[in-house]
Structure formats: C-alpha cells, structure tokens
Amino acid sequence: MPIPSALAPAAPFSDAERDAVYKAIFTRRDVRDQFLPDPVAEDVLHRILTAAHHAPSVGLSQPWNFIVIRDQAARDQVWHAFNRANEEAAQMFEGDRQTSYRSLKLEGIRKAPVNICVTCDRSRGGKVVLGRTHNQSMDLYSTVCAIQNLWLAARAEGIGMGWVSVFRDADLRDLLKIPDRIEIVGYLCLGHVDELYQTPELEVKGWSKRLPVDEMIFDGTWQGDP
C-alpha cells in the first residue's frame, strides 16, 4: 500500500516541456570532433552527473561510479590505448570496408576537455540484490541507463558527448587503476559544442543508417527465420 503523502501529481507535461524532452532525445548525438576547448564548469558537470545518478537501477543498487579525467597527460595515455586498439579493429574489416573504417574519427579523447569513465561495482548492494537474482547482468544494464541519462542531460546543457569503446579493457584498467572486481562500462568524452550532426555521423559518412522504427516492432517472425 503506497504512503499517500509520498505521491505527487503526475500530469502529462505541457507541450513545451514534452517538446524539450523529445528535443533532447532526437538531437542528442555521439560527438567525436565538434568539441570546443572551453572548460566545462564544475556546477554544470555536477548537474549532468546528478542526472546520471537519478537513473533507474536494479534493486536501487546504484552500482555506478564516475571517474572524471581532465588531466591532459592522462587523456593522452588513454588516447594511445585507443589508437592501439583501433589499429587492431581496423584489421578486422576487409577491403573497402577497412578503408572506410580508417577514414572515420571514432573518439574525442584529447579534444574533449573532460573524459569520464563510468564503472559498475558488481558487489554494490551485497550478494543478493532485488531484481538481480536470476540475471546478474542487470547491474550493468542499470549503469548503461545512467550513461543515457548523462548523455541527454549533457545535450540539454549544450555539452556534447561521445562514447568510446575501442579499447582493450586491460589497458584502461591499468591506466585508471581500476580493480578487477569493478567493471568498465563506458568511456565518455565531454565538452561544449556549438554544432552537431543532424543525423548520426555514421549515417552521414555512409557507414550505416537508422532503420525504420516499424521494422523494429516485432511482427511474429525473426529476421533469418526460414
């Protein structure tokens, strides 16, 4: 039985409020190259991290931590780890696809003044966590929810964000001194932007394209089924 005084009215948003939410969702972009050098103010960063921290989490376990990296030398080292992994990644594509891959910029580690490594503490909340009893990955999914909140809040603040995942886990772990029991979930680059692509950059550059939403609404057959 809910405690009546704990509830607040939940009317639909006004048109302007609703439009603002959709604007953040539809104009959010993965940013690699548009970062401005202007520093990100502490209070702005704190608001963005607070938005991330208000994400849903399994059993309200809040398994995330945010490692904020501003130091140029540290970002340089992370970039070298990216660069090594990116060369390995490039080799995995063949022919024209490899040429196309190599032409893409896939990170803003040195250009973005703030980098954030988002981690998941797999022991947060104890051995048995409500909602995680039959799927241990739920803590990781919760951390991804936090990253999406962060991304949308950043958009609303005029801060661009790029997610970089082209790393060997061990390299990042070593550089950032992250113990084995902590999972690295996302490495994010953040900075002010005054321009963003209107559609995903990978679409603009011909790498991939957004599929129609109606194709995603399950119609009873799985792609590839006979």
Measured from the CB atom, the residue of 34 and 125 that comes closer to ligand FNR is 34
Residue 32, interface with ligand FNR (CB under 6 A)? yes
Q: Judged by CB under 6 A, which of 27, 91, 99, 165 binds ligand FNR?
A: 165
Measured from the CB atom, the residue of 49 and 161 that comes closer to ligand FNR is 161
Which residue's beta carbon is nearest to the bound ligand FNR?
Answer: 200
Measured from the CB atom, the residue of 10 and 213 that comes closer to ligand FNR is 213
Residue 116, interface with ligand FNR (CB under 6 A)? no
Q: Judged by CB under 6 A, which of 52, 164, 184, 190 binds ligand FNR?
A: 164
Measured from the CB atom, the residue of 59 and 201 that comes closer to ligand FNR is 201
Residue 184, interface with ligand FNR (CB under 6 A)? no
Q: Alpha carbon of 45 to those of 6, 68, 118: distances in Å?
A: 29, 10, 14
> CB neighbours of 122 closer than 8 A, spacing ≥ 6?
63, 136, 139, 181, 182, 183
**Sheet strand arrangement including 159-164:** 64-69, 114-121, 182-192, 159-164
Q: What is the DSSP track for 103-161?
A: HS----TTTSSEEEEEEEETTTT-SS-TT-SS-TTHHHHHHHHHHHHHHHHHHHTTEEE
Contacts to ligand FNR by CB under 6 A: 29-30, 32, 106-107, 162-166, 200-202
